[in-house]
């Protein structure tokens, strides 16, 4: 397992970040046994994974934070905890009480990386960040990160504080951040934490055609807006995406590797990447993805994979918002 610093800080994290949203269960993930979730965290620590990402807004009741906190009892010093504050709570007089609630759920006296989950354009960014800086000065948080920030919002935030990370969707099928956001992060020493590195399972080879993808996973801008849960107002790029998936599967077969391993390794090879956020609901699921973090793509393969997905990148343009055609990542 490789380890990297969060931005310019001395906080070291594993390249594999365990995404803890599935621990929430509920309406998004369905039933989830807390004991299995806790066993998954313990297995991750045993295998050298030190970075755990959650949020107060997962499934509305912060259950993901609560489960992670329980899992880290007696092992807190082995872990780097990242959680998020939801946009409605960025009002300055709500920031500290929101952080305190997360600290209580997580059963810790500090959060290593406190992230703004999405921008709130109804609240002045400098006011929200001033409140976050007070938390840092008080020792309640160690570093400030953002999620889903485009160039404009990122530039505004940087005028008020050091932003160490930007958490964004990034995978072979979803490359809009390469147009503007990734270069801006590189220029400002902001590490990229990549969510959905397997395109919500599309890059595992699990689905042979768009028709096989369930409604909950076909609401992104990769799919046509006539999908039941889609609300982006665009035509999508299903043909281009599934042609690219077929090419990724073919390249993986040539190498004798699983397409998921190849896809994760491609993201790891990109510039400015700190960690990949990979969800796991059990120790067994965890084990499936660890080999990708011990593997380097052979020479020339990353370029072939990029070329295979270039038509998808061209169709999507610079809007990095997976679900909204109006681009909330301004």
Domains and their CATH numbers in the chain = 3-163 (3.20.20.100)
* pLDDT at residue 61, rounded to an integer: 67
Max alpha carbon distance in the chain (Å)? 56
pLDDT of 62 reads: 74
What whole-number distance in Å separates Cα of residue 83 and Cα of residue 36? 21
Going by pLDDT thresholds of 50, 70 and 90, the confidence category of residue 244 is very high
58 is catalytic: yes
Q: What's the CA dihedral at 68, 277, 121, 178 to 10 degrees? A: 170
For residue 316, what pLDDT is reported? 95
Q: Which whole number is the average pLDDT over 43-63? A: 90
Q: Which of 3, 58, 195, 295 is the catalytic position?
A: 58
pLDDT in tens, 17-50: 999 988 988 776 788 899 999 999 999 999 999 9
Query: Which pLDDT band holds residue 328 (cuts at 50, 70, 90)?
Result: confident
Instruction: State the pLDDT at residue 326.
Output: 84
Tokens of 35: 């004991």
| Distance from the Cα of residue 21 to its chain's centroid | 10
In whole angstroms, give the CA distance from residue 182 to residue 180. Answer: 6
Position 176 scores a pLDDT of: 97
pLDDT in tens, 69-101: 999 999 999 999 999 999 999 999 999 999 999
């Amino acid at each position: 397992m490789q380890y990297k610093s969060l931005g310019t800080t001395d906080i070291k994290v594993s390249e594999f970040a365990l995404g803890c949203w599935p621990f929430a269960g509920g309406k998004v993930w369905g039933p989830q046994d807390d004991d299995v979730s806790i066993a998954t965290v313990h297995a991750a620590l045993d295998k050298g994974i030190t970075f755990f990402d959650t949020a107060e807004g997962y499934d509305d009741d912060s259950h993901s934070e609560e489960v992670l906190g329980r899992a880290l009892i007696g092992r807190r010093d082995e872990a780097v905890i990242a959680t998020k504050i939801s946009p409605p709570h960025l009002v300055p007089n709500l920031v500290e009480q929101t952080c305190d609630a997360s600290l209580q759920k997580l059963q810790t006296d500090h959060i290593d990386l406190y992230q703004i989950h999405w921008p709130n354009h109804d609240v002045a960014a400098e006011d929200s960040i001033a409140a976050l800086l007070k938390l840092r000065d008080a020792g309640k948080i160690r570093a400030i990160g953002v999620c889903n920030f485009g160039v404009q919002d990122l530039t505004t935030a940087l005028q008020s504080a050091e932003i160490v990370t930007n958490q964004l969707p990034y995978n072979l099928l979803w490359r809009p951040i390469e147009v503007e956001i990734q270069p801006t992060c590189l220029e400002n020493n902001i590490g990229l934490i990549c969510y959905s590195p397997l395109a919500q399972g599309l890059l595992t080879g699990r689905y042979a055609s768009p028709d096989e993808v369930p409604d909950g996973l076909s609401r992104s801008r990769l799919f046509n807006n006539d999908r039941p849960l889609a609300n982006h107002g665009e035509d999508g790029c299903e043909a281009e995406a599934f042609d690219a998936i077929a090419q990724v599967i073919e390249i993986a077969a040539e190498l004798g590797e699983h397409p998921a391993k190849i896809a994760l390794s491609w993201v790891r090879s990109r510039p400015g990447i700190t960690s990949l956020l990979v969800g796991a609901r059990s120790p067994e699921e965890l084990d499936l993805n660890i080999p990708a973090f011990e593997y380097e793509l052979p020479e020339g393969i990353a370029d072939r994979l990029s070329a295979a997905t270039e038509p998808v990148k061209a169709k999507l343009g610079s809007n990095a918002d997976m679900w909204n055609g109006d681009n909330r990542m301004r």
